[in-house]
């Protein structure tokens, strides 16, 4: 078998990276909220999009994006330019989101069991029994979104983060590991189980669209 | 050797090359469903990417609300008092003066501490007025140890940190 | 009327005189509404340290920065060796937020205002926020003064315990 290529679409780097961002950061560090607002304008859409993919809820994504930017403002004095501003911001946003998801599932009393449905799965085995399908039945886009939302909601915050960062944001394993403060092996393991679980939950979806 | 899950993930993502790839594909010969698994994993990725997040509605309001929140949560230095016009008539000023004398004397006597002489041992101990744990999984308890004149805040619910984690 | 005016001047003089003492508050006499400002004082600092407490078979002496605290740390927490992971000190500015970064992983936001009650003996009312990386662990309002430290017991690390030490230094 030849090595397959699996290029992942990477989000376009922000056009205003480099000196402009650093200049705005320096002004923000001096207390200039107008400069910080300009940074927010540049990255708010990406921030919202990433958090939405984690929470699958627009209101939650709005609130958590706000929380993340406030946190970034409060800690902007710690930004030393060792990474790009967005990389630094991304980590804050991800941690805020993961913390929120953890608190919610503790409050709800439910548990994320990432092993549900995987107990009988061995490596290489089919992910789920093929359901009975009506040949002519197709799922609407709205239903697909809903099914995706429900499936992702069943993942633990850490597995969710790994899948979103890899499949949607196109980050490398090393970048994911840095954001999640874990080893690359842990990232790969989380991806393995998250994919398995999502495949089991969504198999009938992507076979009928 | 890395666990199967890690190698499988790398294989699905096209990250395995050279001898590692050859060795893993040889191992997969005994897993006939592996190719189908990889195809499904890639379909899953497409499924997730084809449905991007909705756009941020009312984006300008997002900034406005954020800046309001920052203004509310950022401590401000005291603004200089504005000079007002002469509001106090002389009688009012006189009464205020008399009241000031009484209040100033009382405050000075009771609240302004005397200078601590070098040899004097502090009888003061740190006092924790209130604590707010960072999240619901953390619990804070405050204890004063009079024998050692030290106050301790015990935090419970913090996850264990392995020794491999760099602290510095 | 003259007497009342004289009393007013005398009251203001008393308050102005009190400004000579280092821990007093002052009023401005240049505007109709007085503006309160803290009197200049000796430079006070808030000092913080991240300490790793362990129980090795042959404990070694505490480093110089921790010698003042080692006996108390030992009695309170029961460990025999204390290593300094890092320390940081910042000048205390009334009402200005400062960042203390004793280590890369643990850092604090500090907002202080001078406490005026006699019991604090020239100390500070601090709003402290303790973070581990970007995760807030604790926010606390505490009154601190020289000579009385605050210990915060943090997470377990390896075979030991992380402890954050805070003290006002003059």
pLDDT band per the 50, 70, 90 thresholds, residue C34: very low
| CATH of residue A195 | 1.10.10.10
C124 compared with C24, residue with greater pLDDT: C124
Q: Are residues A98 and A176 in the same domain?
A: no
Q: Do A99 and C135 touch (CB under 8 A)?
A: yes
d(CA C157, CA A207): 48
Q: Looking at A108, A132, A167, which one is the last position of a domain?
A: A108
Looking at residue A176, its pLDDT comes to 92
d(CA C22, CA A165): 56
On whether the CB atoms of residues B134 and C135 are closer than 8 A, the answer is: yes
Q: Which residues from C are below 8 Å from B89, CB to CB?
A: none
- The mean pLDDT of A50-69, rounded to a whole number, is 92
pLDDT single digits (tens) A170-208: 999 999 998 888 899 999 999 999 998 898 888 788 776
Q: H-type helices in chain A, by residue range?
A: 19-29, 33-55, 58-74, 85-108, 141-153, 157-163, 173-180, 184-208
d(CA B40, CA A29): 47
| CATH of residue A34 | 1.10.1740.10
Q: Which residues from B are below 8 Å from C5, CB to CB?
A: 90, 93-94, 97
| pLDDT value at B87 more than 90 | no
Long-range contacts formed by C129-136: CB under 8 A, 24+ apart: C130/B134, C130/C106, C130/C164, C131/B134, C131/C106, C131/C107, C132/B158, C132/C105, C132/C106, C133/A95, C133/A181, C133/C105, C134/A71, C134/A75, C134/A91, C134/A92, C134/A95, C134/A96, C135/A95, C135/A99, C135/B134, C135/B135, C136/B134, C136/B135
In a domain, residue A166? The reply is yes
pLDDT band per the 50, 70, 90 thresholds, residue C124: confident
Q: Are residues A23 and A94 in the same domain?
A: yes
In a domain, residue A168? The reply is yes
Q: Are residues A38 and A93 in the same domain?
A: yes
Q: Which residues from B are below 8 Å from A168, CB to CB?
A: 48-49, 52
Q: Are residues A26 and A103 in the same domain?
A: yes
pLDDT single digits (tens) B37-54: 898 888 888 888 888 888
Q: Beta strands B150-156 and C150-157: pairing type? A: parallel
Full DSSP string of B60-85: HHHHHHHHHHHHHHS--PPPPPPPPP
Write down which chains contact chain C via at least 3 CB pairs under 8 A.
Answer: A, B
Best-predicted range by mean pLDDT among A31-35, B31-35, B137-141? A31-35
Mark B86-115 as b/e (b = at least 16 C-beta within 10 Å). Answer: eeeeeeebbeebbebbeebeebeeeeebee
Share of chain A above pLDDT 90, in %: 40
Residues for chain A: how many in total?
A: 209
Looking at residue A123, its pLDDT comes to 40
Q: Are residues A100 and A150 in the same domain?
A: no
Chain C nearest CA to B62, separation (Å): 23
Q: Which residues pair with C139 in a beta bridge?
A: B132, C129
On whether the CB atoms of residues A149 and A56 are closer than 8 A, the answer is: yes
- The mean pLDDT of C82-99, rounded to a whole number, is 82
Average per-residue pLDDT in chain A?
78
pLDDT band per the 50, 70, 90 thresholds, residue C18: low
Average per-residue pLDDT in chain C?
76
| pLDDT value at B168 more than 90 | no
**Number of domains chain A is built from:** 2
Domain of residue A83: give its range. Answer: 19-108
Looking at residue A89, its pLDDT comes to 94
Hey, CA dihedral for A160, A104, A59, A29, is it positive or negative?
A: negative
Stretch among A123-127, A149-153, B31-35, C142-146 having the lowest mean pLDDT: A123-127
d(CA B15, CA A190): 16
On whether the CB atoms of residues B164 and C163 are closer than 8 A, the answer is: no
Q: Which residues from B are below 8 Å from C158, CB to CB?
A: 161-163
- The mean pLDDT of B58-62, rounded to a whole number, is 83
Q: Looking at this predicted complex, what is its ipTM?
A: 0.75
C22 compared with A19, residue with greater pLDDT: A19
E strands, chain C, are 25-27, 36-38, 45-54, 81-91, 97-100, 106-114, 124-132, 135-144, 150-157, 160-169
Task: Tell whether B41 is within 8 A of chain A (Cβ).
Answer: yes
Q: Which residues pair with C127 in a beta bridge?
A: C111, C141
Q: Are residues A98 and A29 in the same domain?
A: yes
Chain C nearest CA to B71, separation (Å): 14
Q: Are residues A174 and A100 in the same domain?
A: no
From the list B77, B127, B153, the residue facing C143 with the nearest CB is: B127
What are the distances in angstroms from CA B120 to CA B116, B134, C121, C145, C162?
Answer: 7, 38, 11, 14, 33
Looking at residue A127, its pLDDT comes to 42
Q: Do A74 and C135 touch (CB under 8 A)?
A: no
Q: Are residues A148 and A198 in the same domain?
A: yes
Looking at residue C166, its pLDDT comes to 92
Q: Which residues from B are below 8 Å from C33, CB to CB?
A: 81-84
d(CA B56, CA A49): 8
Hey, CA dihedral for B67, B69, B74, B80, is it positive or negative?
A: positive
On whether the CB atoms of residues C132 and C118 are closer than 8 A, the answer is: no
Chains A–B, number of C-beta pairs less than 8 Å apart: 147
Stretch among A2-16, A140-154, C125-139, C147-161 having the lowest mean pLDDT: A2-16
Name the closest residue on chain C to residue B97, using Cα atoms: C8
Looking at residue C6, its pLDDT comes to 74
Average per-residue pLDDT in chain B?
80
Q: How far is CA A199 from the centre of its chain?
A: 17
Q: Are residues A152 and A102 in the same domain?
A: no
Q: Are residues A89 and A157 in the same domain?
A: no
pLDDT single digits (tens) A106-121: 666 555 555 444 333 3
pLDDT band per the 50, 70, 90 thresholds, residue B159: confident
On whether the CB atoms of residues C112 and C92 are closer than 8 A, the answer is: yes
Looking at residue C5, its pLDDT comes to 67
Chain A nearest CA to B168, separation (Å): 15
What 3-state DSSP class applies to B110? helix
In a domain, residue A3? The reply is no
């Amino acid at each position: 078998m030849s090595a397959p290529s699996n290029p992942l679409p990477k989000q376009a780097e922000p056009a205003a990276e480099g000196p402009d961002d650093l200049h705005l950061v320096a002004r923000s560090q001096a207390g200039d909220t107008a400069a910080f607002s300009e940074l927010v304008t540049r990255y708010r859409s990406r921030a919202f999009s990433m958090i939405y993919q984690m929470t699958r809820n627009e209101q939650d994504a709005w609130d958590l994006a706000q929380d993340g930017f406030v946190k970034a403002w409060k800690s902007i004095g710690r930004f030393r330019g060792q990474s790009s501003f967005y990389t630094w911001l991304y980590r804050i946003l991800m941690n805020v989101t993961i913390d929120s998801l953890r608190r919610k599932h503790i409050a709800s009393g439910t548990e994320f069991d990432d092993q549900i449905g995987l107990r009988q799965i061995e490596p290489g085995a089919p992910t789920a029994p093929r359901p009975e399908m009506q040949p002519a039945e197709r799922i609407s886009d709205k239903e697909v979104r809903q099914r995706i939302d429900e499936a992702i909601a069943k993942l633990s915050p850490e597995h969710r983060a790994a899948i979103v960062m890899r499949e949607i944001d196109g980050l490398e394993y090393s970048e994911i590991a840095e954001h999640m403060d874990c080893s690359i092996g842990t990232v790969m393991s989380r991806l393995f189980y998250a994919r398995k679980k999502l495949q089991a939950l969504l198999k009938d979806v992507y076979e009928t669209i | 050797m890395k666990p199967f899950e890690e190698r499988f993930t790398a294989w699905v993502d096209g990250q395995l090359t050279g001898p590692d790839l050859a060795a893993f594909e040889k191992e997969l010969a005994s897993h006939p469903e592996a190719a189908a698994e990889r195809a499904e994993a890639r379909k899953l990725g497409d499924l997730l990417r084809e449905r991007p997040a909705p756009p941020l509605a009312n984006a300008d309001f997002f900034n406005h609300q954020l800046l309001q929140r920052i203004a509310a949560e950022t401590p401000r230095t005291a603004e200089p008092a504005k000079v007002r016009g002469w509001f106090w008539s002389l009688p009012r000023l006189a009464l205020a003066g008399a009241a000031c004398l009484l209040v100033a004397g009382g405050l000075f006597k009771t609240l302004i501490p005397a200078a601590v002489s070098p040899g004097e041992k502090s009888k003061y101990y740190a006092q924790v007025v209130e604590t707010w744990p960072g999240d619901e999984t953390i619990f804070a308890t405050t204890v004063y140890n009079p024998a050692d004149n030290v106050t301790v805040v015990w935090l419970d619910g913090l996850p264990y940190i392995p020794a491999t984690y760099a602290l510095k | 009327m003259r007497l009342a005016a004289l009393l007013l001047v005398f009251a203001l003089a008393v308050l102005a005189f009190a400004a000579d003492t280092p821990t007093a508050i002052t009023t401005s006499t240049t505007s109709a509404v007085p503006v309160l400002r803290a009197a200049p004082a000796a430079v006070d600092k808030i000092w913080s340290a991240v300490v790793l407490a362990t129980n090795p078979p042959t404990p070694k002496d505490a480093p110089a920065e921790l010698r003042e605290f080692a006996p108390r740390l030992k009695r309170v927490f029961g460990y025999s060796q204390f290593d300094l992971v890092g320390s940081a000190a910042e000048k205390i500015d009334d009402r200005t937020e400062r960042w203390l970064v004793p280590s890369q992983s643990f850092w604090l936001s500090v907002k202080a205002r001078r406490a005026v009650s006699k019991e604090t003996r020239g100390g500070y009312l601090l709003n402290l926020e303790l973070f581990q990386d970007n995760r807030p662990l604790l926010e606390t309002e505490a009154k601190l003064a020289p000579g009385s430290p605050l210990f915060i017991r943090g997470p377990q690390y390896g075979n030991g315990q992380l402890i954050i030490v805070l003290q006002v230094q003059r």
